[in-house]
Structure 1
Amino acid sequence: MALDTMTNNRFAMQTRKLVKSYGAVHVLHDIDIDMAQGEFLVLVGPSGCGKSTLLNCIAGLEHTSGGTFMIGGRDVTQEPPKDRDIAMVFQSYALYPTMTVAENIGFGMKIRKLPRAEIEAKTREVADLLQIGHLLDRQPSQLSGGQRQRVAMGRALVRDPKLFLFDEPLSNLDAKLRVEMRAEIKKLHKRTKASIVYVTHDQIEAMTLASRIVVLKDGHVQQIGTPQQIYDTPANTFVADFMGSPPMNLIAANVTEHGLAVDGMTLDMGPSWSSTGLPQQVTLGIRPEHFALSAGAADLTITPVLIENTGAESYIVFDLGGTSMTAKVPGRLDEDSVTPIRLSVTRGSLCLFDRETGLRITGKSASLTS
């Protein structure tokens, strides 16, 4: 299925019905993505969902089994990696140990036989952008993990390609350095306006870095949207459970005339509620922060199973109808307390899902979640 290059030059990357199989094993199923120029697109999902395979197909490192693929409005489905005008940053830094930082960054330009003055100028420009200009004479063994990753990024940036591909570049870093490098990558994107496809299994990375997120499961696209869309209106229970830390609470509920019945109690949804068109049995989704401590009227009174203090906020784990739930509230609580806690629920932030299909229910009857 060809794409119209005259109308799609505004896209950095496009796929249509992209399929990848290894014999009888189907890894990617009909992947359709339109990525705008300058977008930071994050592919996220659990291990084995196909995100790295999709990235390798974009790079040309894996041959697709079907479908069409374009970069910058040009069909590159059958083109080798060297002709796709891409640059990759891998999980492993893959630096040349006997070369200096400057030589590592400029090696690709040297291979292409660019003038020495141009190589030095471009290397210095990129090194200053990445704040490693003072390290150009050092070798990789003299650098920290974060500095090595910056060198790997610099080697890609000097290419000035149509598309940057990042394959879990922060996985080898410790937690503190990952947070720092995440911020550096975000600032770098804001400065360069580069088109980036970024693979990660870390949903926090996805939420903080992405212009848009592609959530994958078992080779199928579950949802494509901005981080806010993915978080507020997940397309199904998988997205709701995977995106969010802690994840969305999901519990079986029955639809009634006045609201939702959960474990013998009814959550009154107010005068705007209508059960018309809703299935009788649904899955109710509540983000942990949509519970609130209540000194007065409350929706439910719970006995904490576990209380975790993180400093500025506390996580209250409790049981509701045999389902483990988590509430996130501001401040510190007594971790040893078994005193009942009164909680209220933010109605307008709830999500309803079809119990059989797992799909989010939208439309007038479920206007609270649309």
Structure 2
Amino acid sequence: MVENTKHALSIQALQKSYGQIEVLKDINVTMDPHEFLVLVGPSGCGKSTLLNCIAGLEETTAGTLMIGGREVTALPPRERDIAMVFQSYALYPTMTVGENIAFGMKIRKQDKASIAAKVDEVAKLLQIESLLDRRPGQLSGGQRQRVAMGRALVRDPELFLFDEPLSNLDAKLRVEMRAEIKRLHETTGASIVYVTHDQIEAMTLATKIVVLKDGFVQQVGTPAEIYHSPANTFVADFMGSPPMNLVPATVIGKNSIQLGDGQELTGVTIPETATGEITLGVRPENFAIGSDIEVQVTSSENTGSDTYLSFEIAETKLTARLPWSFAQTGTVGLSVDKAQLRYFDRQSGQAL
């Protein structure tokens, strides 16, 4: 493993173009040893391309890449000390599970005793000891994913790269495997870079998140920073389920805001940079039954533990999450947790 004085990964001014098309634009990201870094964003944002650049499967157009304090920008994948877990598992169908896991070690001509000991260790860690003599065709999707992870784990590389590894699994299995990957990270202390379009995966697995859009880094931070203090309205809208409500509003006093429908919200702490027309951000869980504003409920959805109320302010659809079964319709009074309000520039969308 890397020393604490070195970054597990350092990306500086990285660019990637295909002809005239810029896919990645001035990417700057660092991660420390043992971190779980998640690259997240909508389809086409550049996250898989960035992972492929880290792996050496794609050449960069500009910038530098360092893994474990060693520059690898021009090195082929086999010399980067990485292990990759693919979306498609990429297992050899004619080999047993044990042979698939051991394959990389055999290629590197390690002795049989070391290989057997490492395969047993990894199989126990992944709870697949009973599957070692089976072939991939006899396994479920979740079991195949465990084997693919096992093949990476025996390598003990500087960096693990995961490319949307759970996207082929059904919803229940995805939740189980998510917990498995989190447990593996906590157990092994591995340095992991993980690509997903699923923001819940990002929030639950990451120690650090990189949000990408159109080839640009929108924000880098811990899950809590990304969720509670989004850098702009894109991050606010993308991270969270349901996403942050974004309400047109106008600053009318030192501690007073007028919402787009004319209602006033008083007693708020407004940043000095927030003046005139702004966008107000409020998470669904930061509403409660109260008297700050009155809204007309358009629909309600009871999920058992929560009720989601839908309503509109100035033709903007909003959601409130109430932590109990709440059946009232029509006009409802809501309070707002004013300490949790976020303020954004109306034009640029940047946080104020």
Note whether the superposition's TM-score is higher than 0.5: yes
What does residue range 229-268 of structure 1 map to in structure 2 within 5 Å?
A: 229-257=225-253, 258-262=255-259, 263-268=261-266
Deviations 1:154-192 (A, max 9, x none): 000000000000000000000000000000000000000
**1:197 to 1:275, Cα distance in 2 relative to 1, 3 A:** closer
The code of the aligned residue for 1:304 comes to: V
For 1:330, which of 323, 327, 333 is the aligned residue?
323
Where does structure 1 lack aligned partners over 5 or more consecutive residues?
1-6, 362-370
Do 1:306 and 1:317's aligned partners in 2 also have CA atoms closer than 8 Å? Answer: yes
Q: Distance in 2 between matches of 1:37 and 1:75?
A: 16
SS class of match (1:61)? coil
What does residue range 96-135 of structure 1 map to in structure 2 within 5 Å?
A: 96-135=92-131
Alignment of 1:342 onto 2:321: no
1:332 Cα deviation from its structure 2 partner: 1.4
Deviations 1:204-231 (A, max 9, x none): 0000000000000000000000000000
Do 1:8 and 1:73's aligned partners in 2 also have CA atoms closer than 8 Å? Answer: no
Q: Distance in 1 between matches of 2:307 and 2:106?
A: 54
SS class of match (2:330)? coil
Match of 1:149 in 2: 145
Match of 2:348 in 1: 357
Q: Distance in 1 between matches of 2:182 and 2:29?
A: 22
**1:133 to 1:78, Cα distance in 2 relative to 1, 3 A:** same
TM normalised by structure 2 equals: 0.97
For 2:21, which of 20, 25, 30 is the aligned residue?
25
1:278 Cα deviation from its structure 2 partner: 2.5
**1:194 to 1:217, Cα distance in 2 relative to 1, 3 A:** same
Q: Distance in 2 between matches of 1:18 and 1:8?
A: 24
Q: Distance in 1 between matches of 2:336 and 2:304?
A: 23
Which has the larger displacement, 238-247 or 261-270? 261-270
Q: Distance in 2 between matches of 1:194 and 1:357?
A: 38
Q: Distance in 2 between matches of 1:129 and 1:350?
A: 43
Which has the larger displacement, 257-266 or 276-285? 276-285
Match of 1:4 in 2: none
Do 2:274 and 2:343's aligned partners in 1 also have CA atoms closer than 8 Å? Answer: no
**1:322 to 1:35, Cα distance in 2 relative to 1, 3 A:** same
For 1:63, which of 59, 62, 83 is the aligned residue?
59
The code of the aligned residue for 2:205 comes to: L
Do 1:248 and 1:287's aligned partners in 2 also have CA atoms closer than 8 Å? Answer: yes
Q: Distance in 2 between matches of 1:80 and 1:89?
A: 17
What does residue range 311-322 of structure 1 map to in structure 2 within 5 Å?
A: 311-322=304-315
What does residue range 272-287 of structure 1 map to in structure 2 within 5 Å?
A: 273=269, 276-287=272-283
| RMSD of aligned residue pairs (Cα, Å) | 1.3
Do 1:255 and 1:275's aligned partners in 2 also have CA atoms closer than 8 Å? Answer: no
The code of the aligned residue for 1:160 comes to: D
Q: Distance in 1 between matches of 2:270 and 2:79?
A: 57
